[in-house]
Amino acid sequence: HTAAIIDLMGGASATEEYRRRSFAVNVDGTKNLVHAAQEAGVTRFVYTASNSVVMGGQRISGGDETLPYTKRFNDLYTETKVAAEKFVLSQNGVRGLLTCSIRPSGIWGRGDQTMFRKLFESVLAGHVKVLVGNKNAKLDNSYVHNLIHGFILAAQHLVPGGTAPGQAYFINDGEPINMFEFARPVVEACGQRWPKLRVPGRPVWLAMSAWQWLHFRFGLPKPLLEPTGVERVYLDNFFSIAKAQRDLGYQPLYTTAEALEHCLPYYVELFQQMKAESGQSLVSAAVPVPPEG
């Protein structure tokens, strides 16, 4: 199960409708799938969670699956993923269904319409002027083919007496990296200049958190950066794949460099497409539409 509303805003300031929509899809939708699987006699269920279920705004360097669930929810995505993963794992062994959960990091590769699309939107809007946080802050990512490999291994080990039933696993590329250093070659390949000036992360996070509160309470436009997204680039948040290696025999199929070589043409094409669409939108706004008839 991989469908979800991926929005890193939320917290106590979120509107009730915003909360209802996120829980309806991410939690209730997951419960419906589990119950449907049990009704149909399905025996294996691999859930897609997120590494954010244990983060909670703390620095994590090489964290493992013994970390407790976070109780600090600054975004609804994390809050709903915690609730859904807890439910999925609680259903392990119920009515013949074996369950486990995979916790990816940022998912990237050909077909990506989330990670780099958001970055490209910011670049095209002229918002990428500085880099946030220390250059030594690292996170990890999950190249789509490495992630799929992890899913297949989990399903293969999701059998009676196997290692996977009832377990959660971090699946990533095993190469922690600074987010801006990861993104730089992609943006430069798109013909865009990459900023060099860095600003401290904490003040940016405070400003975006206040902006988010104003957005939900008074209807101001969304903040330029989601507070949780800011935390991810200025705080260490990378996780060990040792448990997946031990239990599932997982090893990334591609290094970050190999994966980037494979999917760079896709990202350049995506950027050019978005750039063209952005130009068309500006033209449409500037040229009056002739009346019909």
Residues labelled catalytic = 77
String of DSSP letters for 228-240: HHHHHHHS-EEE-
Largest CA distance in the chain: 72
Q: Could you tell me which residues come within 8 angstroms of residue 10 by beta carbon, excluding any fewer than 6 positions away?
A: 18, 19, 22, 73, 74, 75, 76, 77, 78, 79
Residue 105 and residue 60: Cα distance in Å, rounded? 13
Question: What are the phi and psi torsion angles at 91 (to 5°)?
Answer: -90, 0
The residues pairing with 280 across neighbouring beta strands, listed in sequence order, are none
Query: What is the C-alpha to C-alpha distance for residues 272 and 120, in angstroms, rounded to an integer?
Result: 10
CA-angle at 55, arms to 52 and 58, nearest 5°: 150
HSE-CB for 71 with a 13 A CA cutoff: 1
User: Distance between CA atoms of 163 and 167, rounded to whole angstroms?
Assistant: 8
